[in-house]
């Protein structure tokens, strides 16, 4: 129920989030009521069920955009936003005027426009724009309000429509030709192509081995030099870059390619020679400080330094902005306001000394043409800037680290250059030339405050220096060590979140505010997964199939230049330089070339589903070609009539020809029984599936349901004997009766690992005890312990412990529960939202999760069935299968009807929120809801 609005005579200020509302309300007097819209209050329908009933028959209804009438979007107020809209309407009734204080970018401008369209205010409307939430900025915005920028609104709406058309027309093509629940997106698909192309390079890579010599030399004064061989008889020794990645061969055959025997012989010969210094090259150089952070550089640096994902960086940055600690976090600009420059320079002078201050204020210019992003860089809010230490008690751990990073980068941007010397000493021994490099920092300058990629600038300065002992040309040196050193060329690195963000930015694809959601989407759609060891982005075989389809049949949709040009054109709309309707017509209907609609329609019958889902691995000598096929139930290897499942999360570059043959041979061997069950006579197999190896009893023709059992942790398929397989298939097994209760103790291998059960009591088995041989004595001892008191498995030790809850006064803890991670404050337990990463949870997020759960009230206990209802249910089970099927269908239809009635209609206000037209065919496979998947946009 909406709160009763305040007394008349107040101004209503609407922002996006409650946190931002709380901060702004501190700076405004009693004459203002600040309320949050909680993000967008309306949007395009997500599927058929949300399309208004009167529009469902229109041919364009599945898009939510009337492509036949100037691309008029159908906007609906989602059910979860209806209550907030009612609350805002109630507050507006008693307001004297309306201030729209949403964010200053195109998304914020669109939110303000939608608020006007839905609320239809009768009072004066003013748009407030500010890039930091401080008292000074808020009052300045009140003195200089403006109108809603229609160009920004049209730009946001056009971008939203283009993404909808792309996602909802191309995604169904993927569903038909590859498998259901896939999605395509204007930027998403290009990002996937980048990652797939890097993996293709790794798969095509051929390593090369080469050798050189590493020397340790001493001077006459006792100094040490570590030198590397660079040439012999005027022939340069190659480095990794000199080898062809595709063949492993040297690009330049005049280079000296040493193998191990040749390197050993060379070392033996050179040890007889006297090494002498022939040249000392001392070159001074300077480095300049990095510009203040933009959105993308902040995401990249937080990923390098702290391992933050792009999404987590933006969440933490948004909380800092909304609480008044930093300026707006979505920006392409490196510019600082004059007051910010002065604040930074004052801090440099007071904290580091005037010698560390740049002679003149540094002005950083952005190269980005996009007007809507041309704000200030990300910096500490206000002036003077708050010291990080002064906020330590107020901020969470991750908030403090990110604020400290922003503070240091901003300060360093106004510091003096770093001056250093790069020294190279050349040493000759017979006809061989060695070199050793060193570096000395003459004046640290900005490096005292900030070193990119380093947490501790002072410590990093020491690591950056390589001080060489004093030597003179012609001076003789002494061998301490001279040994051959082997090297192997390495394939190109996979993209990390940081390097992918940098690549997209350099290519002009996407915008800072979209990078986090792009990475989230390709991970959620399982086009990409993160490598367990390196955390790099690895494409799945499904990503390969999608890229093959798009590259072969819709190439310009994943063309890098075309996508970058689309960004420029969408930015031109935001500047009022391009008509949005002209752009949409050409994109969808075409002009010089076919538009999106006709291209997709033409390809439906042309694309061979088997061809696009076929990835060639190679052809072993004298054998048939090996390919990976992407089927509806996952990828698998195929060689002629032989097939083998591919384990999930296997990096594609690891499936070489030899590895593929091994998997195929192992699968073929699994078709041969390990032995036969002495009781049933059925064959016992060791098989490998998507979720790992397992044993199976039966499987020959006539067996309806072969019994299977997963291998226990640590077991290897090749080590499984018939005896072990039979033991695994015997699970769950009776261990023996409990000596006190007499109830049977059962050992089993479950979803969460091996465990024992006695009556209603269960205990997980520790790693050192197997369910195959756990004894009654061991089981009784485990059952006597309280749950969770035996160590890591099932332990009640918290995964994280935060500060005390302001509600209960007890520490807030992140726990591992049976059904997933949850947070608790001692009184309320709240599961983490689906898809949330426990590693990235901070104190503020934990409190918000607990608050949301507490507001829902206590969970209702399940109703205990009465004897009468139990009898009724038993009677009901006697109904025929046909009757049950009929009842199920009727229930599903009823639910569907209720869902349709719950869908919201778009606002009648504003001609761009209305759409008309004629037919919709939601029964076609191309319908967005036909698989339950939401296409990307």
Which of the residues are catalytic? Answer: 328
Residue 359 phi/psi, 5-degree rounding, is -55, -40
Name the one residue in this structure whose structure tokens are 């599961």. 831
The answer to whether the CB of 12 falls within 8 A of the CB of 24 is no
The answer to whether the CB of 214 falls within 8 A of the CB of 414 is no
Residue 933 structure tokens: 């998947």
Name the one residue in this structure whose structure tokens are 């192992």. 666
Nearest to 686 by CA among 701, 677, 675, 700: 675
Nearest to 186 by CA among 206, 212, 158: 158
CB-based contacts of 461, cutoff 8 Å, min separation 6: 441, 444, 447, 448, 451
Name the one residue in this structure whose structure tokens are 């901070």. 842
**Angle CA(99)–CA(572)–CA(563) in degrees, nearest 5?**
115
Residue 561 structure tokens: 């230049």
The partner residues of 478 in beta bridges, in order of sequence, read 218
The answer to whether the CB of 825 falls within 8 A of the CB of 833 is no
Residue 11 phi/psi, 5-degree rounding, is -95, 135
**Angle CA(463)–CA(464)–CA(470) in degrees, nearest 5?**
100
Count of other CB atoms within 10 angstroms of residue 495: 23
Nearest to 256 by CA among 231, 274, 277, 220: 231
The 3 state secondary structure assigned to 68-99 is: CCCCEECCECCHHHHHHHHHHHHHHHCEEEEE
Q: Give start and end residues of each alpha helix (H) in 375-531.
A: 397-412, 457-464, 497-506, 512-524
The partner residues of 73 in beta bridges, in order of sequence, read 65
Report in angstroms the alpha-carbon separations of 806 from 394, 398, 560, 844.
Answer: 13, 19, 50, 11
The answer to whether the CB of 479 falls within 8 A of the CB of 267 is no
Residue 496 structure tokens: 């990390």
Question: Strands (DSSP E) along 201-318, which ranges?
Answer: 209-218, 224-232, 235-236, 276-287
The answer to whether the CB of 635 falls within 8 A of the CB of 626 is no
The answer to whether the CB of 142 falls within 8 A of the CB of 47 is no
Residue 225 phi/psi, 5-degree rounding, is -130, 135
Residue 75 structure tokens: 């906007």
Quote the CA–CA distance of 756 and 779 in Å, as a whole number. 7
DSSP assignment of 691-748 equals: TEEEEEE--STT-SS-EEEEPPTT--GGG--HHHHHHHHT-SEEEEE-TTT-PEEEEE
């Amino acid at each position: 129920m909406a709160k009763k609005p305040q007394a008349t005579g107040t101004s209503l200020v609407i922002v996006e989030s409650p946190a931002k509302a709380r901060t702004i309300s501190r700076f405004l007097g009693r004459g203002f009521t600040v309320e949050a819209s909680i993000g967008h209050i309306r949007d395009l329908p997500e599927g058929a069920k949300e399309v208004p009933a009167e529009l469902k028959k229109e041919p364009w209804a599945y898009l939510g955009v009337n492509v036949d009438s100037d691309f008029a979007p159908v906007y609906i107020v989602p059910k979860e936003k209806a209550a907030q809209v009612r609350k805002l309407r109630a507050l507006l009734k008693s307001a004297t005027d309306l201030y729209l204080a949403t964010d200053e970018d195109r998304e914020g401008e669109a939110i303000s426009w939608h608020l006007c369209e839905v609320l239809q205010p009768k009072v004066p409307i003013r748009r407030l724009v500010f890039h930091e939430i401080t008292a000074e900025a808020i009052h300045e915005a009140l003195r200089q309000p403006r109108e809603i920028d229609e160009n920004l609104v049209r730009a946001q709406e056009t971008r939203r429509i283009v993404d909808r058309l792309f996602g909802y027309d191309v995604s169904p093509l993927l569903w038909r030709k590859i498998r259901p629940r896939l999605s395509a997106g204007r930027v998403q698909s290009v990002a996937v192509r980048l990652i797939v192309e890097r993996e293709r390079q790794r798969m095509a890579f051929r390593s090369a081995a080469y050798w050189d010599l590493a020397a340790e030399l001493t001077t006459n004064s006792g100094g040490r030099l570590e030198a590397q061989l660079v040439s012999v008889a005027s022939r340069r020794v190659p480095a990794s870059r000199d080898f062809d990645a595709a063949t492993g061969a040297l690009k330049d055959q005049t280079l000296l390619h040493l193998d191990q025997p040749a390197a050993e012989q060379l070392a033996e010969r050179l040890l007889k020679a006297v090494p002498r210094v022939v040249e000392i090259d001392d070159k001074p150089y300077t480095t300049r400080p990095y510009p203040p952070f933009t959105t993308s550089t902040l995401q990249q640096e937080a990923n390098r330094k702290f391992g933050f994902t792009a999404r987590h960086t933006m969440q933490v940055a948004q909380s800092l902005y909304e609480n008044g600690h930093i300026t707006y976090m979505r920006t392409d600009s490196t510019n600082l306001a004059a007051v910010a420059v002065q604040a930074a320079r004052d801090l440099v002078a007071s904290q580091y000394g005037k010698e560390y201050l740049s002679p003149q204020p540094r002005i950083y210019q952005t190269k980005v043409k996009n007007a809507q992003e041309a704000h200030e860089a990300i910096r500490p809010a206000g002036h003077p800037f708050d010291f990080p230490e002064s906020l330590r008690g107020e901020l969470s751990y991750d908030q403090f680290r990110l604020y400290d990073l922003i503070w240091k980068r901003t300060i360093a941007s106004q510091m003096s250059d770093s001056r250093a010397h790069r020294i190279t000493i050349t040493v000759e021994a017979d006809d061989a030339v060695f070199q050793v490099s060193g570096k000395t920092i003459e004046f640290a300058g900005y490096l005292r405050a900030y070193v990119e990629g380093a947490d501790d600038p002072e410590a990093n300065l020491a690591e950056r220096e390589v001080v060489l002992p004093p030597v003179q040309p012609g001076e003789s040196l002494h061998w301490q060590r001279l040994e051959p050193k082997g090297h192997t060329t390495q394939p190109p690195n996979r993209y990390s979140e940081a390097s992918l963000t940098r690549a997209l930015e350099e290519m002009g694809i996407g915008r800072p505010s979209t990078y986090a959601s792009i990475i989230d989407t390709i991970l959620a759609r399982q086009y990409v997964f993160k490598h367990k060891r390196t955390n790099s982005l690895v494409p799945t075989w499904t990503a390969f199939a999608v890229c093959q389809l798009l590259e072969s049949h819709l190439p310009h949709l994943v063309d890098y230049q075309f996508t970058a040009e689309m960004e420029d054109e969408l930015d031109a709309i935001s500047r009022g330089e391009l008509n949005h309707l002209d752009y949409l017509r050409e994109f969808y209907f075409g002009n010089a070339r076919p538009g999106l609609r006709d291209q997709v329609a033409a390809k439906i019958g042309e694309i061979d589903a088997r061809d696009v889902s076929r990835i060639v691995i190679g052809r072993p000598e004298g054998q048939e070609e090996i390919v990976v096929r992407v089927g509806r139930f996952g990828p698998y290897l195929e060689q002629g009539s032989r097939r083998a499942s591919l384990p999930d999360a296997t990096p594609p570059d690891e499936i070489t020809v030899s590895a593929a043959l091994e998997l195929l041979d192992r699968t073929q061997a699994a078709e041969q029984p390990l032995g036969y069950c002495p009781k049933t006579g059925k064959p016992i197999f060791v098989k490998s599936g998507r979720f790992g190896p397992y044993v199976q009893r039966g499987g020959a023709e006539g067996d309806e349901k072969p019994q299977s059992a997963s291998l226990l942790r640590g077991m290897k398929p090749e080590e499984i004997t018939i005896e072990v397989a039979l033991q695994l298939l015997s699970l769950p097994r009776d261990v023996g009766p409990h000596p006190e209760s007499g109830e049977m103790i059962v050992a089993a291998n479950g979803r969460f690992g091996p465990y024992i059960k006695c009556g209603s009591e269960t205990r997980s088995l520790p790693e050192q005890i197997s369910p195959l041989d756990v004894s009654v004595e061991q089981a009784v001892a485990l059952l006597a312990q309280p749950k969770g008191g035996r160590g890591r498995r099932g332990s009640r030790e918290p995964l994280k412990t935060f500060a005390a809850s302001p509600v209960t006064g007890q520490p807030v803890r992140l726990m591992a529960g049976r059904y997933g991670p949850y947070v608790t404050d001692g009184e309320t337990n709240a599961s983490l939202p689906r898809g949330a990463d426990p590693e990235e949870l901070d104190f503020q997020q934990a409190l918000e999760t607990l608050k949301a759960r507490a507001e829902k009230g206590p969970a209702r206990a399940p109703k205990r069935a009465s004897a009468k209802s139990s009898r009724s249910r038993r009677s009901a089970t006697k109904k025929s299968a046909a009757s049950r099927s009929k009842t199920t269908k009727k229930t599903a239809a009823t639910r569907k009807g209720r869902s349709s009635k719950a869908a919201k209609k778009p606002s009648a206000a504003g001609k761009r929120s209305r759409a008309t037209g004629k037919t919709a065919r939601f029964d076609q496979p191309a319908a967005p809801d036909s698989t339950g998947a939401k296409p990307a946009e």
